[in-house]
Amino acid sequence: MQGFDLAVFLAVFLEMMGTILWVLVALAVVGLAGFLAVVWCERTVVSRRLLRAEVIGVIGGFAALALMAYVTVSGFTDAGGPVDWLLIGIIWGMGLVGTTILAYAAMGLWDMARGRCVARRAR
């Protein structure tokens, strides 16, 4: 591979994951939009909610590893070199961050739907 081409990466991910890729992209977009809406409403990040979302994010990291093991039809014993372990760490980290954002957004939107905007309530 001589250059960096996003179309090649998209083709590889589509071949590996199929329609799951589009579900994950949709979850990422919805989660990020929800996170921004919650932060916009509250004008702050609520630490209690963030801590809960981070705990859920750890579970999401392991779920990302399980998904990738399923998609690639390989196990962790197949990881041979340092690059394989680096990739495993990156996948776990991306699952952690994505699930944390999604969980924070879901909890914040739940509070907003119940009429509780934390920053406005404190005033």
pLDDT tens digit sequence for 14-52: 888 888 889 999 999 999 999 999 999 888 899 999 999
Domain ranges in the chain? 6-122
pLDDT on residue 122: 47
User: What is the pTM assigned to this prediction?
Assistant: 0.81
Please report which confidence band the pLDDT of residue 123 belongs to, taking 50, 70 and 90 as the band edges. very low
- Cα(34)–Cα(93) distance, integer angstroms: 20
DSSP, residue by residue, 23-69? HHHHHHHHHHHHHHHHHHHHSS--HHHHHHHHHHHHHHHHHHHHHHH
pLDDT on residue 112: 87
Q: Map tokens 């919650």 to a residue.
A: 38
